[in-house]
Amino acid sequence: MAEKRKCENCGKAMKQQFIGLKHCKCGTSWQKGIGYFQRTNDMVFALERKVTRKGKNSIRTKQIPVIRYKPNHQDIIDEIEQGDMMCALTATQCRACKGDMLEVNGCQPYLYSAGGKNYKRVRVGDAGDMYENGGDCTDCGAKRGYPHHVCCDCETCPICGGQLLSCGCGVFDTPS
| Residue 6, in any domain of the structure | no
pLDDT band at 172 (very low <50, low <70, confident <90, very high): low
**What percentage of the chain carries pLDDT values higher than 70?**
81
Are 111 and 135 in a shared domain? yes
Q: Work out the angle at residue 173's Cα, subtended by the Cα atoms of residues 121 and 153, and round it to the nearest 5 degrees.
A: 65
Are 23 and 60 in a shared domain? yes
Residues forming beta bridges with residue 15, ordered by sequence position? 23
pLDDT band at 145 (very low <50, low <70, confident <90, very high): very high
pLDDT digits (tens, 9 = 90+) for 15-69: 988 788 888 989 899 888 889 989 888 788 887 878 777 677 777 777 888 888 7
SS3 content of the chain, % helix, strand, coil (to 5): 5, 30, 60
| Residue 75, in any domain of the structure | no
CA proximity to 163, closest of 23, 78, 45, 19: 45
| Residue 37, in any domain of the structure | yes
CA proximity to 69, closest of 29, 40, 90: 40
131/49: higher pLDDT: 131
What is the domain extent for residue 139? 80-176
113/3: higher pLDDT: 113
| Residue 170, in any domain of the structure | yes
Are 114 and 154 in a shared domain? yes
Residue 84 has pLDDT above 50, yes or no: no
